[in-house]
Amino acid sequence: MAICLLKNITKSYELGGESVEVLKDINLQIETGDFLAIMGPSGSGKTTLMNIIGCLDVPSAGEYYLAGKEVSHLSDDELSLLRNEHIGFIFQSFYLLPYATVLENVLLPTLYVANGSNREATEGALRLLKLVGLEDRAKFKPNQLSGGQQQRVAIARALVNDAELILADEPTGQLDSKTSGEIMELLAAMNGHGKTVVLITHDRITASYAKRVVHISDGRLKLEENAQDIQDRGAVI
């Protein structure tokens, strides 16, 4: 089943009494287990599209089905429930709480979910910290970690509610190339474990970790290419 199905999605913003169309007639299907990269230049609408896929925002027109459910007319409360259940987010700037420990940051999404005990959640979070190689950093604060380590914490946080869909908006945008590679390897491993991953990037090397790539330009989805083609052409691009 398609975990995400976007049909004729448009998104407009009102600016100074004028309506600006930022997404134009987007059609996109994302299957469970897919690893999709969305590429496009700055201002092309990548984050706007990600916000709709992630139920952080609703389209102006069109239909969006998440896990078979049409969500474009849901209320904010309904959207946040759905987000918590299905989606883990990773952002360029990590968005960790500075005064909370690594473990507390990873546990944050579990605070909004009723089921399960604290102990179970903590054990789950510690397992995830081990998975991302940070089991010995659980009591550190984010500013005591490198950028790559902070993004690993964010990945653990994205996984803590066992979401099936991971959305990553420029996750390597603040990282050097070696660390970027490590983060992308980790996302690819999560995809190998069955998570559906949607990655936004303007970097071809980052996109080459995905299984398929779509391009967005001026709010329109353009050609799709096989990520293998990008790999074959190599890092010279």
Question: Min. distance of Cβ 25 from ligand ADP in angstroms?
Answer: 15
Q: Which of 1, 15, 114, 237 binds ligand ADP (CB under 6 A)?
A: 15
Q: Is 74 in the site for ligand ADP (CB under 6 A)?
A: no
Q: Which is nearer to Mg ion, 142 or 171 (CB)?
A: 171
CA 39 to chain centre: 13
Tokens standing for 99? 């005064």
Tokens of 127: 């397992």
Binding partner of residue 15 among ligand ADP, Mg ion, none, CB under 5 to 8 Å per kind?
Answer: ligand ADP
Site residues for Mg ion, 71-110, by CB under 5 A, read none
Nearest CB to ligand ADP, comparing residues 1 and 15: 15
CA angle 94, 97, 102 (to 5 degrees): 85
Burial letters 116-128, b for 16+ CB under 10 A, else e: eeeeebbebbbeb
**Binding of ligand ADP at residue 13 (CB under 6 A)?**
yes
To ligand ADP, the closest distance from the beta carbon of 50 in angstroms equals 7
**Strand runs labelled E in the chain:** 2-15, 18-31, 35-39, 61-66, 69-70, 87-91, 165-169, 196-201, 212-217, 220-226
Q: Segment 19-78, which members bind Mg ion (CB under 5 A)?
A: 46-47
For residues 146-205, which are near Mg ion according to CB under 5 A?
Answer: none
**Cα distances (Å, whole numbers) of residue 108 to 115, 159, 172, 177, 207:** 14, 11, 22, 29, 29
Instruction: Compute CA distances 231 → 32, 154, 236, whole Å.
Output: 23, 27, 10
> Exactly one of 8, 27, 29, 43 binds ligand ADP (CB under 6 A); which one?
43
Q: Would you list the DSSP string of 172-224?
A: TTTS-HHHHHHHHHHHHHHHHTT-EEEEEES-HHHHTTSSEEEEEETTEEEEE
Residue 44 touches ligand ADP, criterion: CB under 6 A: yes
Closest approach, Cβ 202 to ligand ADP, in A, equals 8
Quick one: 48 or 105, whose CB is closer to ligand ADP?
48
- Of 47 and 196, nearer to Mg ion (C-beta) is 47
Judged by CB, which is closer to ligand ADP: 18, or 77? 18
Least gap, CB of 5 to ligand ADP (angstroms): 20
Which residue's CB is nearer to ligand ADP, number 106 or number 167? 167
Binding interface with ligand ADP (CB under 6 A): 13, 15, 22, 40, 42-48
